[in-house]
């Protein structure tokens, strides 16, 4: 239990109502009940403000009219919700143990408070800083470095010479440092090109489950500070991601592309290789990027959903565009000749 007034101080909000109200958890505004705190950030959910049974609501000044319950008022209520949720986080902390089934090379450097889970293998030359947590069944190759307080969850694979910064979270099933897709064709046969680079990951990076980040062909693949990556994202060799960029699920970036700082790539974005995407670029869901972007802003491609019958009619018309274009050109030519 946490007093509402204490939450207000922690998240820097103005408490309107009973500061002594005890809060036991956070909930969605549609389902919150007594003892719970919720949040409102969008007018789309405004009707639920009148019906919510929550003991308190985090919101902005524009949504406080006609509500008589307890409020925490602030300019960025979504940030307030994020900080409040942290107070009630029940994610289990790593146990302060070194599993007897872990296999750790003799020359591995282990900082204070490092924990290693069952059946994990850590190869020679690795350096794990203070507070690093390694889950079970993790494979860490030669010469890997992991910064302070980073957490590597179960079944992650870190190939040789991967470097991970401080305060990072790598979720289960992710593979970092596997070979990039580099091959040369020799008389119809594919000759593998050794991938001589590595992967560098900055501080405060979170990488979702089942992602793949390939090592560089010559130079390193690079992920900047504060980058957040959703599940099932693929980053090819020699890609560079700028600080504080966000990438949603099933996005794929081909080799050699550079993404700037503070960019947002929505779900299922595809970017071909060797492009440059400037800082502060938003690429919307299901977009395919085939050329560099030099001006900040929002960019889109692809179709949005519509009734199947309409989509079929549109597709049929698209198939006729080439013949229609030729007919129009022919008519233009005739009109031009007739006017002479």
Catalytic residues: 237
> End-to-end CA distance of the chain, in Å?
88
Helix (H) or strand (E) holding 186: strand 183-186
Q: Would you tell me how many other CB atoms lie within 10 Å of the CB of residue 54?
A: 25
Longest alpha-carbon distance in the chain: 93
Would you say the C-alpha torsion 80, 82, 85, 89 has a positive or negative sign?
negative
Nearest CA to 259 out of 267, 248, 271 is that of: 271
- Strand 183-186 versus strand 206-207 pairing type: unpaired
How many whole angstroms separate alpha carbon 224 and alpha carbon 235? 13
DSSP 8-class letter at 253: E
Q: Would you tell me how many other CB atoms lie within 10 Å of the CB of residue 154?
A: 17
Q: Would you tell me how many other CB atoms lie within 10 Å of the CB of residue 272?
A: 15
Q: CB burial class (10 A; 0-12, 13-18, 19+) of residue 24?
A: middle
Half-sphere exposure of 307 (CA within 13 A, CB side): 3
Write the CA distances from 102 to 138, 169, 321, integer angstroms: 9, 20, 63
Residue 237 and residue 182 in contact, taking contact as beta carbons nearer than 8 Å = yes
Nearest CA to 215 out of 276, 161, 147 is that of: 161
Could you tell me if residue 143 is left (phi over 0), alpha (psi between -120 and 50 degrees) or otherwise beta?
left
């Amino acid at each position: 239990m946490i007093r509402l007034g204490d939450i207000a101080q922690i998240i820097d909000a103005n408490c309107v109502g009973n500061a002594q109200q005890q809060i036991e958890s956070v909930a969605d505004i549609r389902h919150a009940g007594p003892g719970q705190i919720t949040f409102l950030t969008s007018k789309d959910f405004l009707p639920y403000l009148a019906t919510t049974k929550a003991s308190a609501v985090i919101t902005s000044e524009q949504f406080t009219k006609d509500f008589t319950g307890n409020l925490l008022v602030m300019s960025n209520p979504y940030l307030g919700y994020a900080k409040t949720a942290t107070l009630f986080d029940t994610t289990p902390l790593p146990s302060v143990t070194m599993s007897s089934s872990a296999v750790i090379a003799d020359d591995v450097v282990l900082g204070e408070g490092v924990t290693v889970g069952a059946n994990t293998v850590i190869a020679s030359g690795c350096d794990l800083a203070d507070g690093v947590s390694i889950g079970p069944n993790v494979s860490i190759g030669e010469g890997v470095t992991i910064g302070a307080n980073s957490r590597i969850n179960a079944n992650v694979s870190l190939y040789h010479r991967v470097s991970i910064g401080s305060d990072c979270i790598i979720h289960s099933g992710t593979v970092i440092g596997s070979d990039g897709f580099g091959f040369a064709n020799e008389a119809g046969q594919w000759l593998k090109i050794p991938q001589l680079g590595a992967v560098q990951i900055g501080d405060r990076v979170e990488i979702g489950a089942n992602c793949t980040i390939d090592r560089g062909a010559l130079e390193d693949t690079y992920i900047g500070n504060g980058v957040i990556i959703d599940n099932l994202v693929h980053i090819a060799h020699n890609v560079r991601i700028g600080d504080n960029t966000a990438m949603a699920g099933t996005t794929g970036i081909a080799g050699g592309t550079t993404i700037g700082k503070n960019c947002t790539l929505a779900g299922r974005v595809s970017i071909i290789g060797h492009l440059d995407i400037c800082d502060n670029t938003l690429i919307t869901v299901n977009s395919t990027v085939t050329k560099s972007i030099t001006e900040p802003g929002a960019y889109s491609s692809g179709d949005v959903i519509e009734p199947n019958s309409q989509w079929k009619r549109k597709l049929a018309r698209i198939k006729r565009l080439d013949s229609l274009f030729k007919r129009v050109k022919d008519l233009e030519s005739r009109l031009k000749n007739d006017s002479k």
